[in-house]
Chains A and B, each alone.
Chain A
């Protein structure tokens, strides 16, 4: 198992290299002079030349890449054009909000999506199943920003139960009641993703329910709960965990829209702001980190398969 983990980590290196090349290339796909584009039309030629030199844009591409990736490996992702701070510091300042939203949304998805999916599969084709299937299809079809705006209108503006926007840092204030600012964003982000998990849990359980060993379990006279949870659910967990892994990364990307709707100071909003300000070093940093997280989650999901299904042996 340890050898497998090491091998998987090593196999991430070529993928990470390729991802870094793609992220690095973004800046060079910009039509025209990237330094001029980043600083805008109002920038003086001296300032443009200064940026070109500081970012090494006047050097050959492979030298630029080597300098950039060398910096990334040392934890230096360059300077933000807008904030005039190291990119990693800018991202770290915004990470608290995005991580809290992603983690709490994920908890909500697991707590709501998986049990409803199980119930739908157990009561397949019943009225309850039809209700859940219809609701999950509906929520999977809703644009997150529209759902967020409607939730804001109902719970924040009309009923005044929750704040409309913003999020004062818990780390800085130590006030955990600030979590109320994240209730609506988390529901907004979790609803469409829960719908997908409900559908996936249901369909993978129905697939497993047709297996011979499940028929044997029923024939042995085991209780419904035992057959459902120990034989059907456990064996359908691989698909569910795999989907949950991808959902977590989708949540990180989903914060782009949700944080914009609720004006939250997170990494997602940072991406939009940086794109509008053409702060490409910051965008490169965020995207490289997200790609790394995706590969790491992928690895963890793969490793979890060995625990969930004893038939899978890594050698």
Chain B
């Protein structure tokens, strides 16, 4: 059964896919979907509750929350995508190197284990304070915290796959190391890596929102869901809608990616698949 059929069979997974689709549409077609300029200030209409003109209300500068939420999807999803690219590329590389080349393994994995002793959010906060605020720096800081986890997973997978008969056959037939890694190791580890990427996307979205909220994330001039919550908390009693809509967007997106991750894991991980299908 292919992945799409599995998604189609599970209504909750379809809901997740639909949410991801909507958020992606927000991010890609933001100028078309937004009803106003997200930076346009209308002091006369400041802190207006949701109504026919301002669907999600306005903030303390009279900016349209709906338009900011739509543009916020762009910054938030772009950030998490950057984290995935950074942590997965480097994590897969270091994991394979540590798992395949025994000489570097003790040093590399000891370093990874020690780095994992630092809680991700704390490490990300320190890295941002060193690198400075900004989208790229936040991506690097959050990506670095997920890099170690990816390395650990890929290292374990490499140790397992390299013992398989087809890898031994390739080694004994004199295949180049690069070919063994690219043609035999990586293709046989892709399923768990994809599943890990899905969950990393969800959790990095939460971490990046937390950094924004603490004032150490993406600069406040860029509308992101985390920045909107950070600004909105000052008006928690007067204008609760400032928290409701960006918050719901984060929850729905993270939930959608977690659901997608669950379905992918059920389908792609043989351990879980056997449990579901009773093999």
* Chain A CB within 8 A of B113 CB: yes
Chain B residues near A134: list those with CB within 8 A.
12
CA distance A140 to B132 in the complex (A): 29
Q: State how many residues of chain A have any CB contact under 8 Å with chain B.
A: 49
CA distance A14 to B121 in the complex (A): 24
* Chain B CB within 8 A of A150 CB: yes
Give the most central of B119, B121, B126: most A CB within 10 Å.
B119
* Chain A CB within 8 A of B210 CB: yes
Across the interface, A253 reaches (CB within 8 A) one of B120, B233, B262, namely: B120
CA distance A232 to B17 in the complex (A): 35
Chain A residues near B111: list those with CB within 8 A.
18
8 A Cβ contacts from B224-251 to A: 226, 229, 233, 236-237, 240, 243, 247, 250-251
Across the interface, B250 reaches (CB within 8 A) one of A137, A146, A206, namely: A146
* Chain B CB within 8 A of A252 CB: yes
Closest to A210 in B: B275
Of A22-30, A71-79, A83-91, A306-314, the one with at least 4 CB within 8 A of chain B:
A22-30
**Interface 1/0s, chain A 253-295, versus B by CB < 8 A?**
1101100110000000001100110100001001100110011
Closest to B207 in A: A143
**Interface 1/0s, chain B 118-131, versus A by CB < 8 A?**
11111001100110
* Chain B CB within 8 A of A122 CB: no
Chain B residues near A291: list those with CB within 8 A.
114, 117-118
Chain B residues near A157: list those with CB within 8 A.
236-237
Contact between A146 and B126 (Cβ–Cβ < 8 Å)?
A: no
CA distance A252 to B250 in the complex (A): 23
CA distance A26 to B259 in the complex (A): 37
* Chain A CB within 8 A of B20 CB: no
Across the interface, B209 reaches (CB within 8 A) one of A14, A143, A207, namely: A143
Contact between B119 and A143 (Cβ–Cβ < 8 Å)?
A: no
* Chain A CB within 8 A of B110 CB: yes
CA distance A149 to B240 in the complex (A): 10
* Chain A CB within 8 A of B69 CB: no
Of B42-50, B81-89, B213-221, the one with at least 4 CB within 8 A of chain A:
B213-221
Quote the shortest CB–CB distance from A138 to chain B (angstroms).
6
* Chain B CB within 8 A of A153 CB: yes
Chain A residues near B130: list those with CB within 8 A.
26, 29-31
Q: Which DSSP category, helix, strand, loop or mixed, fits chain B's interface? A: helix
Quote the shortest CB–CB distance from A78 to chain B (angstroms).
16
Q: State how many residues of chain B have any CB contact under 8 Å with chain A.
A: 41
* Chain A CB within 8 A of B30 CB: no
Across the interface, A18 reaches (CB within 8 A) one of B110, B216, B262, namely: B110
Across the interface, B255 reaches (CB within 8 A) one of A138, A256, A278, namely: A138
Contact between B216 and A275 (Cβ–Cβ < 8 Å)?
A: yes
Closest to B118 in A: A291
* Chain A CB within 8 A of B80 CB: no
Closest to A269 in B: B214
Contact between A257 and B247 (Cβ–Cβ < 8 Å)?
A: no
Chain A residues near B67: list those with CB within 8 A.
none
**Interface 1/0s, chain A 135-149, versus B by CB < 8 A?**
001101111111001
Closest to A25 in B: B130
CA distance A126 to B121 in the complex (A): 36
**Interface 1/0s, chain A 2-26, versus B by CB < 8 A?**
0000000000001100110010001
Chain B residues near A283: list those with CB within 8 A.
126, 129
CA distance A15 to B118 in the complex (A): 12
Chain B residues near A138: list those with CB within 8 A.
251, 255
Q: Which 7 A-B pairs have the closest CB atoms?
A: A253-B119, A141-B254, A141-B255, A146-B247, A294-B117, A291-B117, A18-B114
Between-chain CB contacts (< 8 Å), 11 pairs: A30-B130, A140-B258, A142-B254, A145-B209, A149-B229, A206-B275, A253-B122, A254-B121, A287-B122, A291-B118, A294-B117
Q: Please give 14 more A-B residue pairs, beta carbons under 8 A apart, in addition to A15-B110, A287-B122.
A: A15-B117, A19-B117, A22-B115, A134-B12, A141-B251, A141-B254, A143-B210, A143-B247, A143-B254, A250-B119, A278-B129, A286-B122, A287-B118, A291-B118
By a beta-carbon cutoff of 8 Å, the part of chain B in contact with chain A is 12, 110-111, 113-115, 117-122, 125-126, 129-130, 132, 202, 206, 209-210, 213-216, 226, 229, 233, 236-237, 240, 243, 247, 250-251, 254-255, 258-259, 262, 275
